[in-house]
Amino acid sequence: MPSHLPPGAQVLPDADAVARAAADHLVAVCADAPGERIAVCLSGG
């Protein structure tokens, strides 16, 4: 495990935790976006 992480960085235990954290962040970003429309591009690869 890294001894020093940038501010706000997290070490997540598994892929499911990464997916949940990403979804939570995306929801927050969309909620804060001005206007009624937002485009999101997802890539899993």
Mean pLDDT for each consecutive 10-residue tract of the chain (45 residues)? 80 94 91 87 76
What's the pLDDT at 45? 65
What's the pLDDT at 18? 93
What's the pLDDT at 14? 96
Separation in Å, CA 32 to CA 8, 9, 25, 42, 43: 19, 21, 11, 19, 22
What's the pLDDT at 4? 87
What's the pLDDT at 8? 85
**Contact 30/39 with Cβ under 8 angstroms?**
no
